[in-house]
Amino acid sequence: MSGSDASATTLGEASERETLKRIFPRLPESRSTIVGPGDDAAVLAAPDGRYVVTTDMMVHGPDFRWAWSAPYDLGWKAAATNLSDVAAMGAVPTALVVAIAAPASTPVSDLEELADGLRDGCAALAPGCGVVGGDLSVSDTFTIAVTAFGDLEGRAPVLRSGARVGDVVAVSGMLGAAATGLRLLFSEAVDAAGEPDRARFERVLAAHPETVTAQLRPRPPIADGPLAAQAGATAMLDLSDGLALDARRVAEASGVGIDLDPGLLGDDVEIALTGGEDHGLFAAFPAGAGLPGGFRAIGVVVPGAGVLVGGRPFDERGGWDPYIGWDGHGG
């Protein structure tokens, strides 16, 4: 079979074994692997007897659109969104398990590109983290599910429930860039019927590369998660659904209020508060503690409940919910 013929082969034409033979060499290796892909299950080292585990799905439609995302982008983002959840516990990401359900008409080359995105995302964001297994299946709707594992390296996990009155609230990573990119896509990269359009997408990407790329290929500050744990962070989570929504989760879990300083949230306070999918880190630190890595102060933990902005209650839900989209207006 020629190279061009191989590139055109679909999942419906290739066996699972043939597909995996093309994908496995492209996937990143994990430093924690004892037994990798090829057996019924992988075997990983758990150096301190514990491991962090999380899982996340991306489904065509609510989570991504092929007119806007290349397979490489999807692989990168699938890695990034899971790596950031591990980092938010204060752990170092070590391994991913990836399951994919795709239409039979999907070219095998698309899965190769997706594997390249997984590989490069892990290499850039969490060197030493690799893919140790997974599954392939057929579905009318393209779906990727990733399970990620992490090493606490002897530290206690950083939970959402430990914030204390007087703590400094800080973030690492961007606020609102990914949401800005998504708003541009929904407003300018669609046809007259409101459907995603590839040609218009290319023009939007060329005009707004930073914000569109922040949405399609986020770069969360993974290394800052373990640094925060080492610096004594009392609470932490991944900013996946929006600052106000995620800060409220910490406030509720900790039984405190969180007062955000609007002067520290950037030029567009509204999108910083209600945008999502930047996958930065939100953490609380004891007053007077040095902020590690790229963390910067944006507020303080106060008595009471919920989220305040400049001392005033912020009751808007804000952020992303997969069942109702952005801020209740549909996804």
pLDDT tens, residue by residue, 96-139 = 999 999 999 999 999 999 999 999 999 999 999 999 999 999 99
Structural domain count, the chain: 3
> Does residue 331 belong to any structural domain of this protein?
no
DSSP secondary structure of 88-111: TTTPEEEEEEEEEEE-TTSBHHHH
Whole-structure pTM value: 0.89
Same domain? 83 vs 206: no
Same domain? 137 vs 171: no
Residues 90, 157 contacting (CB under 8 angstroms): yes
Asked if residue 327 has pLDDT above 50, the reply is no
In the prediction, which pLDDT does 34 show? 84
Asked if residue 75 has pLDDT above 80, the reply is yes
> Does residue 199 belong to any structural domain of this protein?
yes
Give the tens place of pLDDT for each residue, 5-58: 556 888 788 877 787 778 778 877 788 888 877 777 888 888 888 999 999 999
Question: Which residues carry a binding-site annotation for Mg(2+)?
Answer: 40, 54-56, 85, 135, 238, 241
Give the tens place of pLDDT for each residue, 147-166: 999 999 999 999 999 999 99
In the prediction, which pLDDT does 4 show? 45
Structure tokens at 41: 């299950």
* pLDDT range class, residue 328, cuts 50, 70, 90: very low
Same domain? 243 vs 144: no
Side-by-side strand order, sheet with 52-59: 52-59, 143-151, 92-102, 130-138
- Averaged confidence pLDDT in the chain: 91
Residues 173, 279 contacting (CB under 8 angstroms): yes
Side-by-side strand order, sheet with 168-172: 235-239, 280-285, 168-172, 296-302, 257-260, 306-309, 312-313
Percent of the chain having pLDDT more than 70?
Answer: 93
- Residues paired with residue 297 on neighbouring β-strands, in sequence order: 170
Half-sphere exposure of 250 (CA within 13 A, CB side): 38
Same domain? 121 vs 146: yes
SS (H, E, C) 12-43: CCCCHHHHHHHHHHHCCCCCCEEECECECCCE
Residues 117, 312 contacting (CB under 8 angstroms): no
Question: For the chain, what's the residue count?
Answer: 331
Same domain? 225 vs 201: no
CA distance 197 to 66: 10
Identify the weakest region by mean pLDDT among 93-102, 211-220, 255-264, 308-317. 308-317
Same domain? 137 vs 203: no
Same domain? 211 vs 242: no
Question: Which residues carry a binding-site annotation for substrate?
Answer: 63, 277, 320
Same domain? 25 vs 164: no
Beta strand 130-138 with 92-102 is parallel
Q: What are phi and psi of 306, to 5 degrees?
A: 75, -170
Question: Which residues carry a binding-site annotation?
Answer: 40, 54-56, 63, 85, 134-135, 160, 238, 240-241, 277, 320
C-alpha to C-alpha distances, 95 to 89, 121, 189, 278, nearest whole angstrom: 15, 13, 35, 22
Same domain? 143 vs 255: no
Q: Which domain holds residue 201?
A: 182-216
Question: Which residues carry a binding-site annotation for ATP?
Answer: 134-135, 160, 240
